[in-house]
């Protein structure tokens, strides 16, 4: 098997050297070039044709986001963004996914991280995964406007408190719930699915997207601004309501638990710092395993693109309880890992390309 050809882009000579050494510690990867700014990166991508690019964000001459936009437009190549953990960078990373980035990695100590070796295994794993991605799956995503329809829906909900209380106090046996799990390529997949769901959705939607702390809030806000349903990052104690999408905050497992107040039992969100499961927190399995005992056969599990097998155990329990399962088809997955783990166990009721999954959800709630 030929070595993966990587291009390392960073304005820090130290970071370029460290990242190169980390990647080349894996015999499957060869760094064929290094660039110190976005313009230099564009020239070297065009000339060297790497299999994967690691791209810093803040650089002189031309920053990483604009370099990414040019690369994906003119010479599409899988790109992994490297980011410091900050609100500003979180917004840039969300834009990068729309431009066509495969994934991102957080530098542990800012733009120049002397402890970068902490992310060595993650970087190597993601470069390997990115090298297998077909670039036609990374086309530019145009942003949408939720428009008047969503604003009117929100206004109606504000005025009609009685209707809300009726919905959330319904016997849970009659209430459907949708759980979506995803990882690599997830922000793109979630955009396709959530922006296609109609206002007045009759079921709550809970989402686990593998992301570190500080990024899921920007993801939720970006998706909310482009969708006709309400989407936000989950908080401890949030009520689980029809028509509301709650995204697990990075760094926390999200679970569903029941709270009884004045004789009324309601389902609410719980957040925990329990140990990582399969190396991730939030975990799809943890969420599903909390949902199934409460919702049982009224649970709909949806597994989208992603590395690894997180979600397959929870899906097995969901199926045993009589719930239904939708899986993204390999043809549209950026990385066919999590869906494959479900399909290989014959647990999928429906397998759809990404542009058909919202329709599939609507048919099963």
Average pLDDT over residues 327-334: 98
CATH topology of domain 148-363: Rossmann fold (3.40.50)
Instruction: Pull the structure tokens for residue 123.
Output: 């970087």
Torsion of Cα atoms, 23 then 26 then 29 then 32, to 10°: 50
Q: Which of 89, 191, 192, 210 is catalytic?
A: 210
* pLDDT for res 116: 79
Query: pLDDT tens digits, residue range 244-273?
Result: 999 999 999 999 999 988 888 899 999 999
How many Å separate Cα 241 from the centre of its chain? 22
pLDDT in tens, 10-56: 999 999 999 999 999 999 999 999 999 999 999 999 999 999 999 99
**Residue 283 to residue 178: CA distance in whole angstroms:** 15
52/163: higher pLDDT: 52
Query: DSSP label at 116?
Result: G
**75-102 pLDDT per residue, tens:** 999 999 998 877 778 999 999 999 999 9
210 catalytic per annotation: yes
Residue 183 among the catalytic residues: yes
The active-site residue, picked from 113, 309, 310, 312, is 310
Higher pLDDT, 27 or 170: 27
Are the C-beta atoms of residues 93 and 218 closer than 8 Å to each other? yes
pLDDT, average across residues 332-351: 98
Contacts 24+ apart (CB under 8 A), 341-346: 341/308, 341/309, 341/311, 341/312, 342/303, 342/311, 342/312, 342/315, 345/312, 345/316
Is CATH 3.30.70.920 correct for 4-138?
Answer: no
C-alpha to C-alpha distances, 194 to 83, 298, 346, nearest whole angstrom:
26, 20, 26
Task: Say which of 83, 183, 290, 299 is annotated catalytic.
Answer: 183
Domains 4-138 and 148-363 share a fold: yes
- Predicted pLDDT at 160: 37
Domain ranges in the chain? 4-138, 148-363
Looking at residue 235, its pLDDT comes to 98
Query: Would you tell me the crossing angle of helices 284-295 and 312-320 to the nearest 10 degrees?
Result: 10
> What angle, 0 to 180 degrees and rounded to 10, lies between the N-to-C axes of helices 161-168 and 147-159?
90
The token pair that represents 318 in the structure block: 């969901």
């Amino acid at each position: 098997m030929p070595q993966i050809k990587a291009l390392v882009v960073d304005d820090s000579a130290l970071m370029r050297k460290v990242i190169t050494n980390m990647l080349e510690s894996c015999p499957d990867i060869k760094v064929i070039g290094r660039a110190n700014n976005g313009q230099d990166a564009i020239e070297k991508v065009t000339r060297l044709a790497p299999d994967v690019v690691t791209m810093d964000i803040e650089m002189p001459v031309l920053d990483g986001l604009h370099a990414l936009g040019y690369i994906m437009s003119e010479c599409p190549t899988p790109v992994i963004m490297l980011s410091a953990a900050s609100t500003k960078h979180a917004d840039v990373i969300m834009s990068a996914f729309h431009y066509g980035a495969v994934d991102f990695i957080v530098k542990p100590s800012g733009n120049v991280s002397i402890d970068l070796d902490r992310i060595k295994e993650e970087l190597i794993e993601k470069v390997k995964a990115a090298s297998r991605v077909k670039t036609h799956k990374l086309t530019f995503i145009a942003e949408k406007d939720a428009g008047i329809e969503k604003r009117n829906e929100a206004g109606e909900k504000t005025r009609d408190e009685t209707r809300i209380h009726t919905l959330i106090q319904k016997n849970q046996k009659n209430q459907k719930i949708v759980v979506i799990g995803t990882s690599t390529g997830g922000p793109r997949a979630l955009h396709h699915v959530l922006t296609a769901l109609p206002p007045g959705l009759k079921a709550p939607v809970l989402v686990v997207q593998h992301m570190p702390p500080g990024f899921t809030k920007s993801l939720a806000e970006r998706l909310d601004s482009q969708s006709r349903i309400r989407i936000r990052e989950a908080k401890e104690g949030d009520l689980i309501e029809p028509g509301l999408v709650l995204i697990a905050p990075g760094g926390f497992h999200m679970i569903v638990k029941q709270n009884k107040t004045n004789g009324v039992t309601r389902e609410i969100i719980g957040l925990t710092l329990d140990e990582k499961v399969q190396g991730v927190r939030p975990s799809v399995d943890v969420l599903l395993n909390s949902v199934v005992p409460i919702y049982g056969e009224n649970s709909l599990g949806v597994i989208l693109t992603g590395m690894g097998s997180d979600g397959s155990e929870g899906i097995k329990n969901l199926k045993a309880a009589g719930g239904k399962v939708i899986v993204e088809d390999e043809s549209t997955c950026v990385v066919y890992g999590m869906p494959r783990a479900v399909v290989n166990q014959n647990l999928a009721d429906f397998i759809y390309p990404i542009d058909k999954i919202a329709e599939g959800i609507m048919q099963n709630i």
